[in-house]
Amino acid sequence: MKKTISLFLLVGLAIVLLAFTGRELDNALQSIIRQNGLNQHAPVADYSDAKVELGRMLFFDKILSGNKDISCATCHHPALGSADALPLAIGVGGEGLGAARQMGKGRERIPRNSPDIFNRGAKEWHTMFWDNRVSGDIMAGYESPADEKLIAGLENILAVQAMFPVTSRDEMRGEIGDRTVNGEINELALISNAMPQVVWHRLMLRLKKIPAYVELFEAAYPDEAVQDLGFQHAANAIAAFETEAFTFHDSPWDLYMDGMTNAIDESAKRGAVLFYGKANCSTCHSGNLMSDQQAHNIGVPQLGPGKGTAEPLDVGRYLETGDQADAFAFRTPSLKNTAITGPWMHNGAYNSLEEAVRHHLDPKLYLQQYDASKLPKELQASFQDDEEVAQRMLGQIDPALQVEKPLEDKDIGDILSFLYALTDQSALELEHLVPATVPSGLPVKD
């Protein structure tokens, strides 16, 4: 009898202690939420159904690519976490979708990982691309690779972003001498790189030759004559679709911030406290976007074809600014839905979220012991394992990565639990976005 009473007392004491621990965690998290001004995102702009539908068709239609063989959705597919599940994207000339996608003959990988597009319609965004080469807002204006050639009338920074994949030869436009999937000369590839406005004009000529697109544009822009519509209207529609289709606030963490204290478990709560505290994660992954939108050098292993004048290296933001302080720096990604958007880093260097987290905590160790054998075979030899390159990168690692005390494995496990709690349920159910057909008649599914 005494043993039974003692057992009940011990169980009761354990329950009390767990409850106490839970309350302490909740109190700590509520304080963190208040101090960081965290909440569910503000409502995004409201677009007409007609505009969203036009954007949906354009998003999935390969008519926007020079060779008519790749669409926006190829690299930002609803079934692949709004990305492509590849370390480095495969652009024009490729075949297939996701991990099964193959490069075309004589092509190279895109130098950078396809970023997810979740919540990109939030008004807080003022930068786009891994190197922040698009920035600004509608009031102050936008900086972009097109400079003064950027067409007026773009409604937000997401629409500005949508103007540029179609001008990139590797991503969508193609090379001189390319032919379309129908055997036609790729007329977009013949245009000089210095004339993006001509590319946009020719794309609109393509679209206006398709009666179904004329109807979609008329419905989306009833107050404007079709002959006056430019590619900025197409980009605005694509941005409207992306905003409508990929904006979610139903992750366990969102529900917790909304007052549902049992929406995340104790491990995720401990992880959140670490994330916003000892682990220093929120120094860069800050605010409701979970990104400071700044570029940082975190010593990510160099791989892939490289970019611009630095090939075979990719020196990131430096290519835009010429400032040595920006060498190897890339924009902080948002972490909403990060668990379903791997591989991780600007070049997909890690196919494990845990490895990506551990790299942040000890970039020197993880750069020096990087295992390129986990990459796809055609990328393994592209890993730049030169010690001089490593030292250049490590010589200016962002000080924000410094952690006061090393984290234990259980701490890292808790941080991962928190990161998984950032996954929206709605983000897992997006197959309905894929249309059966598109106005061009080109195939939607690879």
- pLDDT, greater one: 397 or 5: 397
Percent of the chain with pLDDT over 90: 91
Among candidate residues 146, 34, 172, 192, the one with its CA nearest the CA of residue 93: 172
Residues 44-61: tens digit of each pLDDT: 889 999 999 999 999 999
pLDDT score for 6: 54
Query: CATH top-level class for 49-248+428-433?
Result: mainly alpha
How many angstroms separate the CA atoms of 424 and 138, rounded? 29
Q: What is the pTM of this model?
A: 0.94
Helix axes 409-420, 353-361, angle to 10 degrees: 130
Ordered DSSP codes for 355-371: HHHHHHH-HHHHHHT--
pLDDT band at 41; cut points 50, 70, 90:
low
pLDDT band at 3; cut points 50, 70, 90:
very low
Residues 90-146: tens digit of each pLDDT: 999 999 999 999 999 999 999 999 999 999 999 999 999 999 999 999 999 999 999
Among candidate residues 356, 236, 382, 386, the one with its CA nearest the CA of residue 304: 382
Residues 303-358: tens digit of each pLDDT: 999 999 999 999 999 999 999 999 999 999 999 999 999 999 999 999 999 999 99
Ordered DSSP codes for 149-176: GSPS---SHHHHHHTSGGG-IIIII--T
pLDDT score for 16: 38
**Domain 280-402 belongs to what architecture?**
Orthogonal Bundle (1.10)
Whole-Å CA distances, 163 to 120, 154, 392, 429: 15, 9, 34, 28
Reduce the DSSP state of residue 228 to 3 states and report it. helix
Answer whether 132's CB lies under 8 Å from 292's CB.
no
pLDDT score for 445: 83
Answer whether 135's CB lies under 8 Å from 54's CB.
no
- H or E segment and range at residue 137: strand 134-137
Nearby residues of 200 by Cβ (< 8 Å), 6 or more positions away: 151, 163, 166, 167, 230, 231, 232
Lowest mean pLDDT among 36-45, 64-73, 247-256: 36-45
Residue ranges of alpha helices (H) inside 36-167 are: 49-60, 72-75, 157-162
With a cut of 60, say whether residue 251 has pLDDT above it: yes
Reduce the DSSP state of residue 316 to 3 states and report it. strand
Among candidate residues 215, 238, 249, 281, the one with its CA nearest the CA of residue 418: 281
Mean pLDDT on 384-395:
95
With a cut of 70, say whether residue 12 has pLDDT above it: no
With a cut of 60, say whether residue 13 has pLDDT above it: no
pLDDT score for 400: 86
Reduce the DSSP state of residue 378 to 3 states and report it. helix
Segments of the chain assigned to CATH 1.10.760.10: 49-248+428-433
Average pLDDT, the chain: 94
Rounded to 5 degrees, φ, ψ at 18 are -65, -40
How many angstroms separate the CA atoms of 370 and 359, rounded? 10
Interior/surface letters 116-146, b for 16+ CB within 10 angstroms, e for the rest: bbbbbbbeebebbbbbbbbbeeeeeebbbbb
pLDDT score for 403: 73
